[in-house]
A and B are shown apart, each in its own frame.
Chain A
């Protein structure tokens, strides 16, 4: 193929990026805008809305709940992901495609269905809603992402390193903890970060399954109805964008390091969607 892209295609790519970034670009504008109304034209610069966030207690509680849920979800789904990814990358067993496919189903299931299904069970069992019920749902939807990330880490691993360890007298468990795990650690960190981010942002399941422990997105949802609260929400959004931007870059850094460590080829397309 010729290496010169047609000019029209490049122009299209630039416009598409503008379309993708349009909403996010507005966040800093309104987060620092000295007006109670979210509309153009902008007035002066202010840090007032960030100060307001600092004083809102309900927000802090929601943030605490969300962080707790996200941390437990990340650990849970990554643990399940390690089991599934290792099994899928290393072993052949009957029914493999079906089992792995079934575990990946939440990837294409509308989240409202997951929410509905879990709430039906909880009602029938007479259990009360809490942070734990949200965690159950979040682990379910995050595990497929963990598997996808970890599977590429396990796949890229050089099998001979494992064999060398066995030859040198380590048993299977020793090999797993002293050779395999260190090699896929970057993949594990990347999986932890991705599932943490997904859980932190997930709304519908949390909306269905949260009891009195409101999560951050559920709190935001409640605030969106009150125009007076919106500027503070913009400030909050700006902080969250900055945080997830940082987390994403960190995850990407570790994913690449994983590829280098395991001796795999660093392809640009072996991300979470392959």
Chain B
């Protein structure tokens, strides 16, 4: 008779449990039954609508009529029209910059809390999240107040005599969008990095020290690689939604800072061309997904490491 013992390589599969212990609850079915309402909701309200967006993107809008013959005209237009190219490229570039800035700024904080937070870790994390439970719109608007011509930054710099004239390169352009988004997404970058740094086995750091690594080498060769899963997660959590941000470019971007979401909204609203808007949305999703997949693949050697 064969004995099957659960082990790392050979975990007991649910259906095997059933066969070996016939009196046990069929947990598999209970689990499936339990998860079916939320799953059905997601299928109905997310998967089906996304599929319809995809279909719609291949139809065409003739004024009030919708022409349901399949065509890729919308995608051709999305790819060839200069305006859409510029907006799409700008959205991706701004999001990449926002992601890099946000993660770079967040890493030291996560590191500080994880290693030196001591008993006050929870308080630090709470302190970081509190400002973000305030109205997103009002927060973004307040950056306009801070960065504006008569704003707080210009006011203080003028008052202290550092500058003669108000700075104008900080509002109504891509810089303003980057600063504001780097602020808006800060906790979403800090928390995953914090979690992965906290999970690092401290004895590895001691081993590195005992073997003669200095603080910098120890950081580069032990801490940083082991915290990469958090960095990758943080980057994706910041990058993906940022590409689709609507409010910040609209309020702070001026004409040079508008992004693809603003154009998608225009197509669904004023321009009344939902199929083109859908094509832009699908293109944006495909581009974002491709970049994310490449990014994960580039980092896959770090992701296999179990901390």
Chain A positions within 8 Å of B53 at CB level: 116-117, 120
Chain B positions within 8 Å of A81 at CB level: 38
Across the interface, do A120 and B274 meet the contact criterion of CB distance under 8 Å?
A: yes
Cβ of A127 under 8 Å from chain B: no
Across the interface, do A114 and B46 meet the contact criterion of CB distance under 8 Å?
A: yes
Across the interface, do B155 and A41 meet the contact criterion of CB distance under 8 Å?
A: yes
Q: Please encode chain B, from 230 to 269, with 1 for each CB lying within 8 Å of some chain A CB and 0 for all others.
A: 0000001100110111110001000000000100110010
Chain A positions within 8 Å of B138 at CB level: 27, 220, 233-234, 236-237, 240
Assuming the contacts A5-B116, A93-B28, asked whether A26 and B152 have C-beta atoms less than 8 A apart, the reply is yes
Distance of A1 Cα from B201 Cα, bound (Å)? 11
How would you classify the secondary structure of chain A's contact residues: helix, strand, loop or mixed? helix
Distance of A230 Cα from B273 Cα, bound (Å)? 33
Residue on B nearest A106 in the bound complex, by CB: B46
Across the interface, do A87 and B34 meet the contact criterion of CB distance under 8 Å?
A: yes
Across the interface, do B134 and A240 meet the contact criterion of CB distance under 8 Å?
A: yes
Assuming the contacts A87-B31, A121-B48, A247-B133, asked whether A139 and B142 have C-beta atoms less than 8 A apart, the reply is no
Q: Taking each of A20, A139, A234, which has the highest tally of chain B beta carbons within 10 Å of its own beta carbon? A: A20
Task: List the one stretch of B69-77, B143-151, B297-305 in contact with chain A.
Answer: B143-151
Distance of A208 Cα from B117 Cα, bound (Å)? 42
Distance of A243 Cα from B52 Cα, bound (Å)? 39
Across the interface, do B281 and A140 meet the contact criterion of CB distance under 8 Å?
A: no
**B interface residue count range (under 10 / 10 to 19 / 20 to 34 / 35 or more):** 35 or more
Across the interface, do A121 and B35 meet the contact criterion of CB distance under 8 Å?
A: no
Cβ of B108 under 8 Å from chain A: yes
Cβ of B115 under 8 Å from chain A: yes
How many A-B residue contacts, CB cutoff 8 Å?
Answer: 252
Across the interface, do B42 and A140 meet the contact criterion of CB distance under 8 Å?
A: yes
Distance of A76 from chain B, by nearest CB (Å): 9
Cβ of B217 under 8 Å from chain A: no
Cβ of B84 under 8 Å from chain A: no
Residue on B nearest A98 in the bound complex, by CB: B39
Partner of B49, one of A84, A121, A241: A121
Across the interface, do A208 and B268 meet the contact criterion of CB distance under 8 Å?
A: yes
Across the interface, do A39 and B148 meet the contact criterion of CB distance under 8 Å?
A: yes
Distance of A10 Cα from B284 Cα, bound (Å)? 40
Cβ of A177 under 8 Å from chain B: no
Partner of A241, one of B47, B134, B241: B134
Cβ of B194 under 8 Å from chain A: yes
Across the interface, do B268 and A248 meet the contact criterion of CB distance under 8 Å?
A: no
Across the interface, do B125 and A139 meet the contact criterion of CB distance under 8 Å?
A: no
Assuming the contacts A143-B41, A269-B121, asked whether A110 and B241 have C-beta atoms less than 8 A apart, the reply is yes
Distance of B264 from chain A, by nearest CB (Å): 6
A-B contact pairs, 24 of them (CB 8 A): A5-B112, A9-B108, A23-B183, A26-B142, A26-B152, A39-B151, A87-B34, A100-B35, A102-B42, A103-B39, A109-B241, A110-B241, A112-B244, A121-B48, A140-B45, A147-B38, A197-B133, A201-B133, A204-B247, A241-B134, A244-B133, A245-B133, A268-B122, A274-B195
Nearest 9 interchain pairs by C-beta? A110-B244, A91-B31, A117-B49, A93-B31, A23-B142, A87-B34, A5-B116, A87-B35, A268-B122
